[in-house]
Amino acid sequence: MAFAPINKNYHDFFVVRDKDACINCQVCVRQCSYGVHYWDEARQCVRHDNTKCIGCHRCEAYCPTQALLIQEKPSNFKPNALWRPVFIKNVYKQADSGGVLLAGMGSPVDIPVYWDKLLLDASQVTNPSIDPLREPMELRTYLGSKPTRLEFETTPEGPRLKTPTKPNIKLNIPIMFSAMSFGSINFNLHVAMARAATEVGTYYNTGEGGLHESLYKYGPNTIVQVASGRFGVHSDYLNAGAAIEIKIGQGAKPGIGGHLPGEKINAMVSETRMVPLGSDAISPAPHHDIYSIEDLHQLIYALKEASDYKKPVSVKIAAVHNVAAIASGVVRAGADIVAIDGMRGGTGAAPAMIRDNVGIPIELALASVDQRLRDEGIRNDASVVVAGGTRCSADVIKAIALGADAVYIATAALLAVGCTLCARCYTGKCPWGIATNDPYLAKRQNPDIAAKKMANLMKAWAHEIEEMLGGMGLNSIESLRGNRDKLRAVGLSQSEMDILGVKPAGR
Amino acid sequence: MKYVIVGNGVASVGAIEGIRRADPDGEILVISEESTPTYGRPLISYLLAGKIGPERMPLRPITFYDKFKVKMALGSKVVSLDAKAKTVSTDDGNTHPYDKLLLATGGVPFVPPLPGKDGSGVYSFTTLANAETLVDVAKNCKTAVVVGGGLIGLKAAEALHDRGVKVSIVELAPRVLSAAFDDKAGGLVAKRLAEVGIDVHCGTQATEIKRDESGTIVGVHLKDGSFLPAQAVVIAIGVVPAAALAKDAGIKVDRGVVVDERLASSDPAVFAAGDVAQAKDLILDDNRVVPIWPNAFNQGFYAGKNMAGADSPYLGGLAMNSIAFYGLPTVSVGIVNPAPGEAGIELSETLDEENATYRKLVFKDGKLVGYVLVGDIDNAGLYTGFIRFKFPLDADTKAKLVSGCPSILQWPEGFFDEKFNPVGAQEIV
Amino acid sequence: MKKIYPNKAVCIGCHLCEVACVTAHSKSKDIILAHNVEKAQEGLAPRRNVAQEGPVCVALSCRHCEEPMCVAACISGALTKNPETGRCEYNEEQCVGCWSCLMACPFGSIRRHPVKEKIIKCDLCAGRDMPACVEACPNAGLIYEDRGKD
């Protein structure tokens, strides 16, 4: 083509093909769902169109001769500290489209990652470290409301607990799979998460898309979510899982609802969500029945009523400015678990401006919520689960030291099954078969393999957590929970350290 | 258990392999008039053409008979069968008792009452010996006439032509390959033969083989009045079942030896397989003599298993032929020439004369029952599958078959996993 | 016997099995030489082929049937059923290219050699512990195991 629109040539990636190594097998052609690679009939060889590349690296991973390299296209623009290329390109795009810039996965912007500024302690000489390979190490965690004090009475059979207890869920590892709705990711991955959670003794969260009946058998390891769209919510659903979560907000897009495009609503999604085939599934920004803490209280108790008070109810909120006060209200409204989703949390689709500019980092939100609940004496009324940008077991253990009871992971789970963070989840064309319901692409996730990988990740992190705990001289995750003395900060300001409740390294 | 197999064609090999599936130790004796172990009978045209040497003829390695513990009585002709005493007698004076007998005697070439047929220079083309003879004949022969434009006749003509003999084919029907193929396929083959220089005379017949005073053949007179000069005549009209042994022993014989689903004849100790047997047909659902190679093997195989005590019903043979003429491959399977006006029949024909490709599909009652492929034969097996498994076809699948794109993924749901991925069929939950 | 079982629920249609097959059956056993040199010179072609109908794909090759139609149809003795291993073995030397097996196999598992008047078919990678296609499959779409008879 002699002329391409201005914005087409400012693409982000280019393909380097080693002609000597290329065997023209066309594996890349078949793997690319964006049409980058193609068979050139005239030249009888495989060629590519750089402008279409989104940088998912699927072709690179599948090329049997390592003939492909996907590279970031060096900027064509004159260096400018203010007008970085991303802003320039966004303006071009919007000048063409007139639309909102969409984005997928967590925010890639350069906001401080406090996990990296926090360092863990270890035992030396004065208190012995523990070898988890030789001695018991307890990672078991219970989520739900705990009584303030325990009262016992003496009976002829012996002492008996007098205090009534509320339902809790038991985690073998303080990590759960975070909410990713069926529809935003496909059924194969829901199967995989369900199996992996069952295998390692933790939970996965259905997200707001309902739960397909064939997955009810994994109910003991399932948290069912109720969001503003109420998709797939009915009595059987509420009772199918081990816990119920009300989704108020999502870290990647606080303040707005969700939109699953009609193209992703296939027969199975339609059946599960209880929405017509092919119609858009729109979750409103607010719950239309929640305008106050009192309203939230009503919904929490409506769900408890519906599930016979047998299941803890979680409320998930996005980490926003006054998250501590909100969390306090949530606990007072009767939530057994408060889930806080930080701004680096992932999403299937969000407006880029909101994803990159709204909310606060999870580390600060967690520290302030934990502190607030302690200050108000209601910390034991609810467990705190954090989500949004947990990358490794060290992040998990730091979160627990900052006060979390458990951590939700989602992006890491998707990475485990191949996601490369190309962040085009909203197109429905995920070449890794994750954020897509296209039957040709979705089967790229073999549930057997995906379940194994997800379970492996959980187990690996659990091992590392045990090692780090042992190194600190602790033999139970309970002993670390909220134990901020095990953390020290580097490179943080005094006010950041105050919020995090940690001392600077060296002190 | 003592098994006697009369004949050493492919049915005999099938029977040996079949018996050994069910009975590893029983005594097996093969008695054959021919003096060589089983050879690939259709290979005689390759041998005559000089494409392969005699060392390539055996159908199984020489170790086969030892490995399968088989005794051979070669060059020994069975002359009588005593069904009561359960013995067969041979022309060398031996009598062999059996517990189970398999008649795999094949067919004998049919030679019509043609004036001049008796005497030198007239040959059949069904055995290795025939082929060896013709190799010698071809050395001193400039022109030859092949009577019969069927598969054997055409392959004989092609082979002789390869030996440098000028060959003419005479066929009574209006086209060559009238039985296995249709007009268009026959036309493409005839065209290819004409291109290489083989004369084809259809719609006429030989009336006399003309000999000179010394008895040497000089040519063949045809009904249309023409005369084809020739020094040799090959008669390849067809074969008739060699069922005399059975008939004489009082066993039920129609066109061939009538056998049931287990390939047993009217005498439960006597089985028949191959060109001599009149066995079940997969599509027509009645008993027919279909003298083709794969049926002979399969019938032998099932007869063998059943003789050895397995109760293994033969599902029926499927008429099929695959022959290439000077690089033009042709395949014909099942019913390819349905009777005109037959109910429920639907035909689809796609002819590309320029590229010498042709595809004809015959549907009956919504199922594929036959096809012809010329040129592009790569999907033959898939079409055969649709016939063999008798799949009912929806409009979409039918359209794909018609357009030359059959696929296993068009099979009915569940059948794929049954055949290719049994056990733990793919419930992904 | 151990056979290769294709699973169409997870076959992603990448054709890496074909690439592996060609390489394993090349002289050089070098993926690049096999495809860029030998394929052109000697007509290497895969013995396993991916079928696709819409979004559904599956990689198919010889089933090594219990009662193989190809062996019944073979006029030259090139195809035989090995009673010990259960494999349908193919001896290229013997093959005369009559295409009878290609016609008889109802699974369409036999193909013509691209240049020779011979057939090609899966030999379960004779000499390898694990067939190359199974090894190459990135999604466990091919499973090599013993599921009992046939």
Contact C16 A27 (CB under 8 A): yes
How far from A157 is each of A162, A325, A483, C27, CA to CA, in Å?
14, 45, 38, 81
- The pLDDT of residue B76 is 95
Contact A21 C15 (CB under 8 A): no
Which amino acid is located at B406 in the chain?
Answer: P
Exposure class string for A347-386: b at 16+ Cβ within 10 A, else e: bbbbbbebbbebbbbbbbbbbbbbbbbeeeebbebbbbbb
- Asked if A389 and A345 touch (Cβ cutoff 8 Å), the reply is yes
Domain assignment present for C112: yes
- The pLDDT of residue B413 is 87
- The pLDDT of residue B424 is 53
Which CATH number fits the domain that encloses residue C90?
3.30.70.20
- The pLDDT of residue B51 is 93
Domain assignment present for A487: yes
Which of C8, C81, C112 lies at the smallest CB-CB distance from B378? C112
Domain assignment present for A398: yes
Residue C150 has pLDDT above 90, yes or no: no
Residue B99: half-sphere exposure toward Cβ, Cα within 13 Å: 12
Average pLDDT over residues C100-117: 96
SS3 B219: strand
Average pLDDT over residues A308-337: 98
CA dist., res. C109 & res. C60, Å (int): 7
Which of C14, C18, C140 lies at the smallest CB-CB distance from A448? C140
Which amino acid is located at B324 in the chain?
Answer: A
Domain assignment present for C130: no
Contacts of C52 in chain B (CB under 8 A): 407, 409
Contact B420 C60 (CB under 8 A): yes
Domain assignment present for C93: yes
Average pLDDT over residues A252-273: 89
Burial environment of residue A135 by CB neighbours within 10 A (0 to 12, 13 to 18, 19 or more): exposed
Contacts of A439 in chain C (CB under 8 A): 55-56
Q: Do domains B2-108+239-307 and B328-420 have the same CATH topology?
A: no
A60 and A205 share one domain: no
Contact C56 A25 (CB under 8 A): no
Q: Which residues of A lie inside 8 Å of C (Cβ-Cβ)? A: 20-21, 23-27, 30-31, 62, 64-65, 433, 438-440, 443-444, 446, 448-449
Contacts of A63 in chain C (CB under 8 A): none
Q: Could you give phi then psi for residue B286, rounded to 5 degrees? A: -140, 180
Q: How many pairs of residues across A and B have Cβ atoms under 8 Å apart?
A: 8
Which candidate, B236, B271, B237, B239, places its Cα nearest to that of B255?
Answer: B239
Mean pLDDT of chain A: 95
The reply to whether CATH 3.40.50.1100 applies to domain B328-420 is: no
- The pLDDT of residue A76 is 74
Domain assignment present for C128: no
Which candidate, B78, B66, B2, B6, places its Cα nearest to that of B275?
Answer: B6
pLDDT digits (tens, 9 = 90+) for C26-70: 999 999 999 999 998 889 999 999 999 999 999 999 999 999 999
Backbone CA torsion sign across B147, B151, B155, B161: positive
- The parent domain of residue C95 ranges over 62-121
Backbone CA torsion sign across B287, B293, B298, B304: positive
Which of C34, C55, C139 lies at the smallest CB-CB distance from A446? C139
- The pLDDT of residue B74 is 95
C10 and C57 share one domain: yes
DSSP string, B60-78: S-TTHHHHTTEEEEET--E
Instruction: Give me the torsion for CA of A286, A288, A289, A293, rounded to 10°.
Output: 20
- The pLDDT of residue C149 is 60
A214 touches chain B (CB under 8 A): yes
Question: Where do we find the tokens 């079942």?
Answer: B241
User: What is the distance between the terminal CA atoms of chain A, rounded to a whole angstrom?
Assistant: 65
CA dist., res. A209 & res. A224, Å (int): 9
| Confidence bin at A2 (pLDDT 50/70/90) | low
- The pLDDT of residue A10 is 86
Chain B nearest C-alpha distance from A188 (Å): 8
- Asked if B272 and B244 touch (Cβ cutoff 8 Å), the reply is no
A447 touches chain B (CB under 8 A): yes
CATH number of the structural domain B2-108+239-307: 3.50.50.60
Q: Which residue of A has its CA nearest to B429?
A: A191
A175 and A32 share one domain: no
Domain assignment present for A321: yes
Which candidate, A283, A185, A270, A176, places its Cα nearest to that of A223?
Answer: A176
C98 touches chain A (CB under 8 A): no
Homologous superfamily of domain range B122-235: FAD/NAD(P)-binding domain (3.50.50.60)
Q: Which residue of B has its CA nearest to C106?
A: B385
- The pLDDT of residue A43 is 95
- Asked if A343 and A359 touch (Cβ cutoff 8 Å), the reply is yes
10-residue mean pLDDT series, chain B (429 residues): 95 97 95 93 95 94 94 95 96 96 95 91 94 94 94 94 95 89 88 92 93 93 94 94 95 96 96 96 89 95 96 93 90 92 92 91 96 95 97 96 96 92 60
A92 and A152 share one domain: no
* Total number of domains constituting chain A: 2
- The pLDDT of residue A264 is 81
C67 and C44 share one domain: no
Chain A nearest C-alpha distance from B358 (Å): 26
Chain B nearest C-alpha distance from A447 (Å): 7
- Asked if B126 and B7 touch (Cβ cutoff 8 Å), the reply is no
Q: Which residue of A has its CA nearest to C20?
A: A64
Angle at the Cα of A391 (from A242 to A440), degrees rounded to 5?
A: 70
Which of A25, A62, A439 lies at the smallest CB-CB distance from C55? A439
All residues at 6 or more sequence positions from A395 whose CB lies less than 8 Å from its CB, including other chains: A115, A389, A407
Domain extents in chain B: 2-108+239-307, 122-235, 328-420
* Total number of domains constituting chain C: 2
C54 and C108 share one domain: no
A71 and A151 share one domain: no
Q: What is the pTM of this model?
A: 0.92
C44 touches chain A (CB under 8 A): no
Which CATH number fits the domain that encloses residue A289?
3.20.20.70
- Which of B407, B418, B428, B429 is the mutation pick for testing C, counting most C CBs within 10 A? B407
Average pLDDT over residues A209-228: 96
Contact B52 C96 (CB under 8 A): yes
- The parent domain of residue A272 ranges over 141-415+448-504
**H helix or E strand, kind and range, residue A464:** helix A447-471
Which of B294, B382, B385 lies at the smallest CB-CB distance from C73? B294
CA dist., res. B17 & res. B64, Å (int): 10
Chains that touch A (3 or more CB pairs under 8 A): B, C
Average pLDDT over residues A255-271: 88
CA dist., res. C134 & res. C148, Å (int): 19
- Which of C5, C80, C103, C107 is the mutation pick for testing B, counting most B CBs within 10 A? C103
**H helix or E strand, kind and range, residue A488:** strand A487-489
**What ipTM was reported for this prediction?**
0.96
- Asked if B359 and B417 touch (Cβ cutoff 8 Å), the reply is no
As a residue count, chain C comes to 150
Contacts of A446 in chain C (CB under 8 A): 10, 139-141
pLDDT digits (tens, 9 = 90+) for A418-458: 999 999 999 999 999 999 999 999 999 999 999 999 999 99
Residue A3 has pLDDT above 80, yes or no: no
- Integer-rounded Cα radius of gyration of chain C: 15
A84 and A160 share one domain: no
Q: Which residue of B has its CA nearest to A193?
A: B429
A164 and A307 share one domain: yes
C29 and C67 share one domain: no
DSSP string, A11-70: -SEEEEE-TTT-----HHHHH-TT--EEEETTTTEEEE-GGG-----HHHHH-TT--EEE
A433 touches chain B (CB under 8 A): no
